[in-house]
Structure 1
Amino acid sequence: MKLNYLLLDVFTRERLKGNQLAVVCKADGLLDGEMQAIAREFNLSETVFILKPQAERNTAAVRIFTPEVELPFAGHPTVGAAVVLGLQNKVTAVRIEEKVGLITALFEKADKRSGEARFALPRLPVRIASLDDRAAMALALGIELDELGCGPYQPAVFSAGVDFHLVPVRDAGVLARIAINMGQWSHTFPHGHNSVYVFTETPAEKDNDLAARMFAPGMGLGEDPGTGAAAAALIGLLSEYSDIGTGQADFVLRQGHEMGRPCRITIQLRKDNDVLVHGGIGGHAVIVAEGVLDLGD
Structure 2
Amino acid sequence: MRNYDVLDVFTDRPFAGNQLAVVHDAEDLTDRQMQAVAQEFGYSETAFPVPPTDPAADYRIRIFTPVTELPFAGHPSIGTAWLLGSRGVLPLGRATQQTARGLHRVVVDADRATLEGDTPVVGDYLDAGPPAAALGLYLSDVDPHAEAGVAGAGLDFTFLPVRADAVARAAPRVDLGEHVVGRGLVAVSFVAGVAHVRMFRATGGEDPATGSAALALGVWLADRGLLPGDGRHAVVVRQGEEVGRPSTLDCLVTVLGGVATHVAVGGRVVPVAQGRIRVPESS
TM-score by length of 2: 0.92
Q: Within 2, Cα distance between the matches of 1:265 and 1:69?
A: 25
1:119 maps to 115
RMSD (Å), alpha carbons: 1.8
Q: Which residue of 2 aligns with 1:112?
A: none
Against the structure 1 CA distance between its residues 292 and 266, is the aligned structure 2 distance closer, same or farther, given a 3 Å change threshold? same
Indicate if the aligned counterparts of 2:150 and 2:158 stay in contact, CA closer than 8 A.
yes
How is 1:87-166 mapped onto 2 (pairs within 5 angstroms)? 87-89=86-88, 91-92=91-92, 93-109=94-110, 115-121=111-117, 123-132=118-127, 134-149=128-143, 152-166=145-159
Contact 2:2 2:24 survives alignment (8 Å)? yes
Q: 1:161/1:57 Cα in 2 relative to 1: closer, same or farther (>3 Å)? A: closer
Shift of 1:244: 4.5
Q: Is 1:10–2:9 an aligned residue pair?
A: yes
Match of 1:178 among 170, 175, 180: 170
| One-letter identity of the residue aligned with 1:232 | L
- 1:276 Cα deviation from its structure 2 partner: 2.3
Report how far residue 142 of structure 1 moved: 0.7
Q: What amino acid is aligned across from residue 217 of structure 2 in structure 1?
A: L
Partner of 1:267: 251
**1:278 lines up with 2:262 in the alignment:** yes
Cα 1:175–1:99 shift into 2, 3 Å: same
The Cα shift of 1:192 comes to 3.2
Does the C-alpha gap of structure 1 residues 296 and 49 become closer, same or farther in structure 2, counting only changes over 3 Å?
closer
Report the CA distance between 1:278 and its aligned residue: 1.4
Provide the residue aligned with 1:225 in structure 2.
Answer: 208
**What is the CA-CA distance between 1:186 and the residue it aligns to?**
2.8
Report what 1:247 is aligned to: 231
1:61 paired residue number: 60
Give, as a single letter, the amino acid of the residue that structure 2 aligns with 1:196: L
Shift of 1:274: 3.2
User: Structure 2 CA distance, aligned partners of 1:202 and 1:244?
Assistant: 12
CA-to-partner distance for each residue in 1:242-264, whole Å, 9 max, x for gaps? 45443111111110011110010
Q: Report the Cα distance in structure 2 between the residues aligned to 1:39 and 1:279, rounded to whole angstroms.
A: 28
Q: Distance in 1 between matches of 2:157 and 2:247?
A: 19
Shift of 1:33: 1.4
- Residues 249, 138 of structure 1: alpha-carbon distance in 2 compared, 3 angstrom cutoff: same
Name which of 171, 195, 198 aligns with 2:187.
198
1:95-114 superposed Cα distances (whole Å, 9 cap, x missing partner): 211111212211111xxxxx
CA distance in 1, matches of 2:280, 2:161: 48
Identical aligned pairs, as a percentage?
36
CA distance 1:131–1:53, change in 2 (3 Å): same
Once residues 248 and 217 of structure 1 are traced to their aligned partners in structure 2, the CA distance between those partners, rounded to angstroms, is 31
Q: Does 1:234 align with 2:226?
A: no
Is 1:253–1:266's contact at 8 Å kept on the other side of the alignment?
yes
Secondary structure of 2:87 counterpart: helix
Instruction: Give the letter aligned to residue 163 of structure 2.
Output: R
Distance of aligned partners of 1:43 and 1:276 in 2 relative to their CA distance in 1, 3 Å threshold: same
Deviation (angstroms), 1:158: 1.3
Q: What is the number of equivalent residue pairs in this alignment?
A: 278
